[in-house]
Amino acid sequence: MQLNQLQQETASAFKELQATNEKGQLDALDKQKLSNLNQSLDSLSLMFDKYLKSQQSPSYQQKAGLTLTTQDQAFQNSGIASQFNEMVRSDSVASTDVGYLQSARVNEMIKNYLNTNSVIRKFATQVAISRESLEYVRNKLDIQAQWNGGTLPPDSVDGYEKFTIKLNDLIAQPKVTYNLINDVQIDFEAWLANELGQIFLNKENDAFINGDGINKPKGILSYTSTLDTVTTKNASLMTVDGIINLVYSMSDIYANDAVIIMNKATVQEVRKLKDSNGQYLWMPGILSGKSDTIMGVPLQTMSNIPVIAANSICAIYANLKKSYLIADHENIAIQKDPFSAKPFISFYCGKRVGGDVINPKAIKLLKVAV
């Protein structure tokens, strides 16, 4: 579907949703119509996201398929891709002294996949490290610079704390057939990178939001008891006041690059809300070629955020660049295992990643509560 057609259908669906919502007392047919319109808007938004991703990283989109493209063939001809594919197709279990296969191209394609499709990675700070962990100093009190009139006291460590972001092992074991590996028209390197990208994305997303820090990254919602929280003032509904108070709770120094993250089911409820001037809080970004917004703040959706329920955190409002840090070990270890999952061939793949909140002041939470 072309961009202008997406825009037209979105504008039509949103206008119809507004008209239905403003009827006041809704009967069963109206409620069903609202549900259908929400689903249509979700679907159109998903198509728009895919359109944006295709514009942002066309090279990866080409490499993600099974069939070799012209660009992939160039990799093959140069020996960059074929060397890995040949090692995989050999009869040996491993083809290196350390027992693991290495592919810079697989690493790069997985990194591109995660950066393109991960909401947290798209906005958070990312660093590559070579050690087992990263030591970081967290500014707990959000201490800023001071004007010096000649009487500035010695620097103090009060308000600062050192903590460690540990790398955790994320293991995946995708399985393939002998037929797929040995088909010379299939770029196995690209196939494996695409499989691992999807597997790693699902696990990372949940850890960056809900992880407890035990053998996995520490997620944002593991700090629920200490992060600043705004309530909806209603135990079962999203409210206009809750959204407005959330947006205005962020300091100016963080608000410019902040985003709101919600579950899609929560977004459907927000689409019904209007401010005191009759303006809807949610606006479809597709009409302007950008992200959807809530009160002008870019909106992202993740299924890992809880839905609306009593005492649940239903939205995260954060400047992720300033508040969350992801540490990665650059190399992904790959080991071929033709024995454990016969008749398939298993590939034992290990990725090392850590994550933690580095500035709590740049995160606000919205809680459904009385």
Q: Which residue intervals of the chain are DSSP H helices? A: 3-21, 28-56, 58-63, 70-78, 80-89, 104-117, 119-123, 178-182, 188-210, 240-248, 252-255, 264-270, 320-323
DSSP string, 209-257: HH-BSSSSPBPGGGGTTTSEEEE-SSSS---HHHHHHHHHTS-HHHHTT
- 370 is a domain residue: yes
Residues 64, 190 contacting (CB under 8 angstroms): yes
Contacts (Cβ under 8 Å, ≥6 apart) of 223: 357, 360, 363
Q: Is 259 helix (H, G, I), strand (E, B) or coil?
A: strand
Which of 156, 119, 115 is CA-nearest to residue 139?
156
Which domain, by its residues, includes 357?
57-142+160-263+302-370
- 218 is a domain residue: yes
pLDDT value, residue 56: 62
User: What is the C-alpha to C-alpha distance for residues 73 and 275, in angstroms, rounded to an integer?
Assistant: 55
- 339 is a domain residue: yes
- 5 is a domain residue: no
pLDDT value, residue 246: 97
C-alpha to C-alpha distances, 346 to 93, 180, 340, nearest whole angstrom: 11, 12, 7
Q: Is 96 helix (H, G, I), strand (E, B) or coil?
A: coil
Q: Is 33 helix (H, G, I), strand (E, B) or coil?
A: helix
- 61 is a domain residue: yes
- 276 is a domain residue: no
Domain count, the chain: 1
Which one-letter DSSP state was computed for residue 280? B
User: What is the C-alpha to C-alpha distance for residues 110 and 118, in angstroms, rounded to an integer?
Assistant: 11
- 36 is a domain residue: no
Per-residue pLDDT of the chain (370 residues; tens, 9 = 90+): 688 888 899 999 999 999 999 888 889 999 999 999 999 999 998 888 887 777 765 444 444 444 444 444 444 444 445 677 777 877 655 444 445 677 788 889 999 999 999 999 999 999 999 999 999 988 877 767 777 777 767 777 777 889 899 999 999 999 999 888 888 788 888 899 999 999 999 999 999 999 999 999 999 999 999 999 999 989 889 999 999 999 999 999 999 999 999 999 999 999 999 999 999 999 998 887 788 999 999 999 999 999 999 999 999 999 999 999 999 997 888 998 889 999 999 999 999 999 999 999 999 999 998 7
Q: Is the peptide bond before 343 cis (omega within 30 degrees of 0)?
A: yes
List the CATH number of the domain containing 80.
Answer: 3.30.2400.10
User: What is the C-alpha to C-alpha distance for residues 369 and 298, in angstroms, rounded to an integer?
Assistant: 24
Which one-letter DSSP state was computed for residue 296? T
Q: Is 293 helix (H, G, I), strand (E, B) or coil?
A: strand
The residue written with tokens 């120094």 in the block is 253
- 250 is a domain residue: yes
Which of 220, 206, 210 is CA-nearest to residue 358?
220
User: What is the C-alpha to C-alpha distance for residues 139 and 144, in angstroms, rounded to an integer?
Assistant: 9
Residues 267, 238 contacting (CB under 8 angstroms): no
pLDDT value, residue 322: 95
Which of 109, 95, 190, 136 is CA-nearest to residue 323?
136
User: What is the C-alpha to C-alpha distance for residues 271 and 281, in angstroms, rounded to an integer?
Assistant: 7
User: What is the C-alpha to C-alpha distance for residues 109 and 105, in angstroms, rounded to an integer?
Assistant: 6
